Amino acid sequence: MMGKQHVIIKQMTESDWESVRNIYIEGIQTGHATFDTEPPSWEEWDKGHVASCRLVACIDNEVVGWAALSQSIHKQAYRGVAEDSIYVSNSCSGLGVGTLLLEELVRVSEEAGFWTLQSLIFPENTASIKLHTRLGFDIVGTRRRVGKLNGVWRDVVFLERRSKIIGVD
């Protein structure tokens, strides 16, 4: 089994998209990772994610996870607020890949001027909630029956992390 020391985190490029898409499909198939039922095209995904805050985790040059930020509110006052997405291949679950990705995503987000990261996680996805809280995200609350997935109303746990170095004025 690979350890954290064998994981390389790097900036995501378009050439990583097929692997990123496949990992996203694994997340979709769990029914506890996203409201999406189909993966987006590269063009659609590219438009919705911050270019400087897209990462992949690689083991032996194979993409095994990814993380990215999206800005859902485009008002000037919210320019430093973004939502994170983080996905790890089923084959690498429990190896610390998610921790490395989220740690690096926090770092690059602060370099890019983000002061608040938000995450919306299905309550059933306890591993993701634990990862986020371990890395400084606070549970703000639960958004009840916020959307339907496959005809079933679903809750999401709302978490956020406020930077201690950006937006502290």
Q: What is the pLDDT of residues 3-50, one digit of tens each?
A: 556 999 999 999 999 999 999 999 999 999 999 999 999 999 999 999
Please name the residue that has the structure tokens 């999406």: 36
Residue range 40-68: mean pLDDT, rounded: 97
Distance of CA 124 to the CA centre of its chain: 16
Dihedral sign of CA atoms 30, 12, 159, 74 in order: negative
pTM: 0.94
| SS3 call for 85 | strand
- pLDDT band for position 74 (cuts 50, 70, 90): confident
- pLDDT band for position 72 (cuts 50, 70, 90): confident
Q: In the predicted model, is pLDDT for residue 78 greater than 80?
A: yes
What is the residue-averaged pLDDT of the chain?
Answer: 95
